[in-house]
Amino acid sequence: MTEIAWQQKDLLSIADLSAAEIQLVLDTASSFREVSARPVKKVPTLRGKTVINLFFEPSTRTRSSFEIAEKRLSADSLNFSASSSGLVKGESLVDTALNLQAMAPDLIVIRHGHPGVPRMLAERVSAGVINAGDGAWGHPTQALLDAFTIREEKGKLEGLKVAMVGDIAHSRVVRSNIELLNTMGAEVTVAGPRTMMPVAVETLGVRAVYSLEEAIRGADVVMMLRVQLERHKKVMFPSVREYFQLFGLTRERLRSAKRDAIVMHPGPMNRGVEIASDVADGSRSVILEQVANGVAVRMAVLYLLSGARQEAGA
Amino acid sequence: MTEIAWQQKDLLSIADLSAAEIQLVLDTASSFREVSARPVKKVPTLRGKTVINLFFEPSTRTRSSFEIAEKRLSADSLNFSASSSGLVKGESLVDTALNLQAMAPDLIVIRHGHPGVPRMLAERVSAGVINAGDGAWGHPTQALLDAFTIREEKGKLEGLKVAMVGDIAHSRVVRSNIELLNTMGAEVTVAGPRTMMPVAVETLGVRAVYSLEEAIRGADVVMMLRVQLERHKKVMFPSVREYFQLFGLTRERLRSAKRDAIVMHPGPMNRGVEIASDVADGSRSVILEQVANGVAVRMAVLYLLSGARQEAGA
Amino acid sequence: MTEIAWQQKDLLSIADLSAAEIQLVLDTASSFREVSARPVKKVPTLRGKTVINLFFEPSTRTRSSFEIAEKRLSADSLNFSASSSGLVKGESLVDTALNLQAMAPDLIVIRHGHPGVPRMLAERVSAGVINAGDGAWGHPTQALLDAFTIREEKGKLEGLKVAMVGDIAHSRVVRSNIELLNTMGAEVTVAGPRTMMPVAVETLGVRAVYSLEEAIRGADVVMMLRVQLERHKKVMFPSVREYFQLFGLTRERLRSAKRDAIVMHPGPMNRGVEIASDVADGSRSVILEQVANGVAVRMAVLYLLSGARQEAGA
């Protein structure tokens, strides 16, 4: 049983969280999980709280997950997208932050193309700030929903063998997941083409290999990463077909993982590129559970951050 | 009195509805009509239900009508537009559907440029799906609000003579209206330039003529259709002026309809093209009533679909 | 104590308001000010009211201020932006207005590039209309929030010396502020480069000078205006650096104002162009208070207009 109280104002990076805090988020998410299964999918928890969703990059999936979480908690949510709104016409991000703060939001959910922007924002505002993805590396709520999903399936995180396969260098979910899994005592192996592997990847505390088979051998969890076709197609590997032959997860290859291994993907999937369709839709796939759990985990984070602020203010 | 209970999970096409079901929607809409006239325009009917508005084509009018209907029913509504959100970056529509479903929406309102997409979605998700327009033909809630408006004015649908004039081949509202009016026992005549008439139009169960006068002679209801100037101007008829001379509804021409005939238009109107301004604003025009009734009809559809789902789940 | 009742259907221009009405808005805003400081930032005042935010020009700051105000009053708000929604495809603004009205909104907040559009809308709809900026001149809620901020700081408006410096000809906030300050008995001086000064500016009831120092000498309030760099850079003055040398507010220059003078800016600021960073962030700056007060003033306006309508309807 977790006994600690939540103290953090913000959720910026998994590296800021202790194992006990991660546990607390996951436990809290468990209790919110059933809200989305009710006929009346709504609790009054955040009534009268203002949440600003500040997306400088388009993200249907993450934004909608947060927005649904906010509405099911009865918060008032506002959406700003940089493109549609003329945000920051000649205004610095700091001024934008101060202006938002002046409108007295309780929480700000931010996605930005540059790493560190959420932290910069958090330092300037008294509102709680949630990093919904910054640049290619940080995406803490994705790591938390992945961990929640693994824990639901496996009952624990400690001691599990987790393989992550694909574009290790550019996927938004890799670093946060590694940090979380390391903190919780799981063992991570990453694999991908050399062109998609960051320099000195082992310093992140993982084993790095260059073959899919080697990565998933004996794994409890196989996380396939999205190949950003629009970005890489011609530069980093000769062809989609070749990528699939080398790093695509097929039913046959999955056999080298544990018999009860689960298959994950942060979406959106390229079927036939990083994952075969029958695996994506197969009985070991928990890809849609990840999406469903995302709402619960974000409800938990919104709830904990808003609660911490109330205590601090009282 | 309608005695049947609503059984349908989705509203995809008027062709799926029996006369009794159409009647039930219209009767339900009657009872919601007065909500929008109250000082407090809100009922708690859909509190805690999540409705996703998924618009792959821009549509201010239909989207706002649905959104107002959802809010007046106290639902939580989320808007996705394909353009603004980066929806489906390389993801198939089926995967988008499955992802949305994972977030446990109760209802999905979808507009898409290709016919059949709403049905494909409905087959994949347990949420109720409402077709808010697919391609050039289907727009069931428009047909229902038109029928509601006619019934309000004429007290019935059976036996009425309805003329539809204009771009029969490309108007989004034609097929749904024909299906509904045929089911309810009205008599439909369509008219338009030959270039705007679909091949074998009579197989839809209507009389087709090529003159405005002939179409509206003795009509109880005259529905004028929008000419999509941006699409047709140069291709299908020599000039806007000529179109108006041949197929524009003027006060004089309206005389050949019944004395108490009503004039309808799905909007947005091209004044001076398909309809003269004084007719659009005249005493026989119910064009703005159509808009007002649209909110009530959409409230009814949202209510019935959500109710059916509850029963199914209970 | 204000004793009058609010009678106006719309808020279109400060010129339509008496001193007593302005006072009433400011007094009402005072009572809403503390709502945004509560843990539960929400009052049920506008529950079941529909507010349409109709923005034909992008405006993150004004739109979000209104949207937050609406949500804190429990209204149902809908956002339309001309760009994202395909609004008015070939439809006249009058038809758009009539269509919106048919959906029975209680209030419409409109921003449009052409002056007079809000008034035209107000004449066509029974909903209350709030001008959120039309063209280069009118922006009544900005003037009201500026006045509110001055009154909070100075305890009164009457007899104060107010300097406005910068692009007098094109700033959206100038005319409304002059009208309001004149009505309330403040004394306004405007200053800016000759190329940014409207013809016959004195007919607005202000003193016009062409030097910053002269304008702010002895001022109680210094309002700096945004230079629209994107528009003017090369045309109206030789360089940003020269502009700052002549019309930028520095700490040194501020000394010629009263010792307790306050510094205002409608935002977004160009730091180092019209205002030095240390002044913008200094102890005399109330720039962020303006933003915070904007929410309270808009809550007051929404409340008063909706109340007036109820009385009228009763």
Pair (B36, B159) in one structural domain:
no
Structure confidence at residue C82 (pLDDT): 67
Closest Cα in chain B, distance from residue A111 (Å) = 13
* Active site annotation includes B38: no
DSSP C19-78: HHHHHHHHHHHHHHHGGGGSSS----TTTT-EEEEEESS--HHHHHHHHHHHHHTT-EEE
Q: What is the pLDDT of residue C231?
A: 63
CATH number for the domain that contains residue B232:
3.40.50.1370
Instruction: Classify residue B275: in a domain, yes or no.
Output: yes
Q: What is the pLDDT of residues C265-275, one digit of tens each?
A: 999 899 999 99
Helix axes A140-154, A19-33, angle to 10 degrees: 70
Q: Are residues B169 and B283 in the same domain?
A: yes
Residue A42: band (very low, low, confident or very high) from pLDDT cuts 50, 70, 90: very high
- Is A237 or B138 the better-scoring residue by pLDDT? B138
Read off the pLDDT of each residue in C230-241 and give the average, rounded to a whole number: 65
pLDDT at position B1: 46
Question: For residues B47 and B36, what is the distance between their CA atoms, to the nearest angstrom?
Answer: 17
Give the pLDDT score at A304. 97
Contacts of C68 in chain A (CB under 8 A): 50, 76, 78, 103
User: Does residue A35 share a domain with residue A77?
Assistant: yes
The residues that bridge with A108 in the sheet, in sequence order, are A52, A129
Residue A249's pLDDT is what? 98
Q: Which among A76, A85, A313 has CB closest to C71?
A: A76
The two structure tokens encoding residue A24: 């607390």
What pLDDT is recorded for position A4? 75
8 Å CB contact of B291 and C90: no
Q: Do residue C288 and residue A102 have CB atoms under 8 angstroms apart?
A: yes
Q: What band does C314 get if pLDDT is binned at 50, 70 and 90?
A: very low
Cα separation of C156 and C147, whole Å?
9
Residue C200 domain-assigned (yes or no): yes
Burial class (CB in 10 A: 0-12, 13-18, 19+), C308: middle
Chain B residues inside the 8 Å CB shell of A67: 78
Bridge partners, residue A224, by sequence: A165
**For residue C60, pLDDT beyond 90:** no
Per the model's pLDDT, the better-predicted residue between B290 and C97 turns out to be B290
Q: Are residues C145 and C287 in the same domain?
A: yes
Q: What distance in Å separates the CA atoms of residue B159 and residue B165, rounded to the nearest whole number?
A: 19
The pLDDT of residue B311 = 46
Q: Which of B48, B50, B90 sits opposite A229 (nearest CB)?
A: B90
- Tell me which amino acid residue C166 is: G
Q: Which DSSP state fits C171?
A: -
pLDDT of residue A80: 83
Mean of pLDDT over chain A: 91
Contact (CB<8Å) B230/C86: no
B119: pLDDT strictly greater than 50: yes
H/E run at residue B165: strand B161-165
- In-domain check, residue C8: no
Q: Given this model, what pLDDT does residue A235 score?
A: 56
**A192 bridge partner residues:** none
In a domain, B4, yes or no: no
Average pLDDT, chain B: 91
Whether C91 shows a pLDDT value over 80: the answer reads no
CA dihedral sign, ordered C3, C4, C5, C10: negative
Q: Give yes or no for residue A139 having a pLDDT over 90.
A: yes
Among A202-206, B147-151, C212-216, C304-308, whose mean pLDDT is lowest?
C304-308
> What residues of C are in the B interface, CB distance below 8 Å?
47-50, 52, 76, 78, 80, 84-92, 95-96, 98-99, 101-104, 106, 310, 313
The DSSP code sequence of B94-108 is HHHHHHHHHT--SEE
Distance CA B48, CA A38 (A): 9
Compute the nearest-CA separation of A113 from chain B (Å): 15
Q: Which residues of chain C does A102 touch, with a Cβ-Cβ cutoff of 8 Å? A: 288-289, 291-292
Helix or strand or coil: residue A57?
Answer: coil
Q: Are residues B105 and B70 in the same domain?
A: yes
Active site residue C62: yes
Q: Are residues B131 and B248 in the same domain?
A: no
- Tell me what pLDDT residue B210 has: 94
d(CA B276, CA A271): 53
In a domain, residue B217? The reply is: yes
pLDDT at residue number A240: 85
Quick check: is A89 catalytic? Answer: yes
The pLDDT of residue B90: 58
Query: Is residue A263 scored above 50 in pLDDT?
Result: yes
| C196 and C220 share one domain | yes
Q: Which of A91, A104, A310 sits opposite C268 (nearest CB)?
A: A91
Of the residues C33, C61, C277, C287, the best mutation for testing chain A's interface (the one with the most A CB atoms within 10 Å of its CB) is: C61
Mean pLDDT (chain C) is 91
Rounded mean pLDDT of B16-28?
97
Cβ atoms of B254 and B216 within 8 Å: the answer is yes
User: Residue A241 has what pLDDT?
Assistant: 87
Task: Specify if C9 maps to a domain.
Answer: no
How high is the ipTM of this complex?
0.91
Q: What is the pLDDT of residue A86?
A: 44
Q: Answer whether residue A3 is part of any domain.
A: no
pLDDT score at C84 = 44
Nearest-by-Cβ selection for B86 from A59, A67, A72: A59
Distance between CA atoms of A287 and A274, rounded to whole angstroms?
14
If asked whether residues C179 and C279 sit together in one domain, one would say yes
Residues A59 and A179 grouped into a single domain: no
The pLDDT of residue B181 is: 98
What single string gives the DSSP state of each residue in A146-170? HHHHHHHHHS--TT-EEEEES-TTT
Angle between helices C19-33 and C174-183 in degrees, nearest 10? 110
- What sign for the dihedral angle of Cα B205, B207, B209, B211? negative
Q: Which residue has the tokens 């998924």?
A: B54
Q: Would residue C172 show up in a list of annotated catalytic residues for this protein?
A: no
What is C67-128 written as a DSSP string? HHHHHHTT-EEEEEEHHHHTTTSS--HHHHHHHHHHT--SEEEEEESSTTHHHHHHHH-SSE
| Neighbouring residues of C86: CB distance < 8 A, sequence distance ≥ 6 | B58, B59, B60
Q: How far is A262 from chain C (nearest CA, A)?
A: 41
CB atoms A268 and B103 under 8 Å: no
For residues B232-254, give the mean pLDDT: 82
Q: What are the residues whose beta carbons fall under 8 Å from the beta carbon of B297, sequence distance 6 or more?
A: B25, B26, B29, B141, B144, B145, B148
Average pLDDT over residues C69-84: 86
Kindly tell me if the per-residue pLDDT of C313 is higher than 50. no
Confidence of residue B310 (pLDDT cuts 50, 70, 90): low
Q: How many domains does chain C have?
A: 2
- C188 and C308 co-located in one domain: no
- pTM greater than 0.90 (yes/no): yes
| Mean pLDDT in residue range B253-266 | 97
pLDDT per residue over A271-299, tens digit each?
999 999 999 999 999 999 999 999 999 99
Residue A66 dihedral angles phi and psi, to the nearest 5°: -65, -45
Which has the closest alpha carbon to B104: B65, B57, B48? B48
**pLDDT for residue C18 is more than 60:** yes
Is residue B89 flagged as an active site residue?
yes
In chain C, which residues have their Cβ closer than 8 Å to the Cβ of B294? 103
How do beta strands B50-55 and B76-81 pair?
parallel
Q: Is the pLDDT of residue A160 over 50?
A: yes
Q: Are residues B208 and B226 in the same domain?
A: yes
Q: How far is residue A32 CA from its own chain's centroid?
A: 18
pLDDT tens across A123-135, in order?
999 999 999 999 8
Residue A12: pLDDT over 80: yes
User: Are C133 and C205 found together in one domain?
Assistant: no
What is the H or E stretch that residue B264 is in? strand B262-264
Residue C90: left (phi > 0), alpha (psi -120 to 50), or beta?
left
pLDDT at position A7 is 92
Please report the DSSP string for C222-271 in residue order.
EEE----HHHHHHHHSS-HHHHHHHH-B-HHHHTTS-TT-EEE--S---B
DSSP annotation of C2: -
Which residues in chain B have their CB less than 8 angstroms from residue A275's CB? none
What per-residue confidence (pLDDT) applies to B137? 73
How much of chain B, in percent, has pLDDT values that exceed 90?
Answer: 76
Question: Which chain C residue's Cα is nearest to A103?
Answer: C292
Kindly report the CA angle at A32 between C77 and A145, in degrees rounded to 5? 95
Residues of A in contact with B85 (CB under 8 A): 58-60, 63
| Options A49, A63, A139, A298, the catalytic residue | A139
Map residue A42 onto helix, strand or coil: coil
Determine which helix (DSSP H) or strand (DSSP E) holds A180, and give its type and residue range.
helix A174-183
User: Would you say residue B300 lies in a domain?
Assistant: yes
The range of the structural domain enclosing residue C21 comes to: 14-138+292-313
- Give the active site residue among C49, C63, C72, C111: C111
DSSP state of C4: P
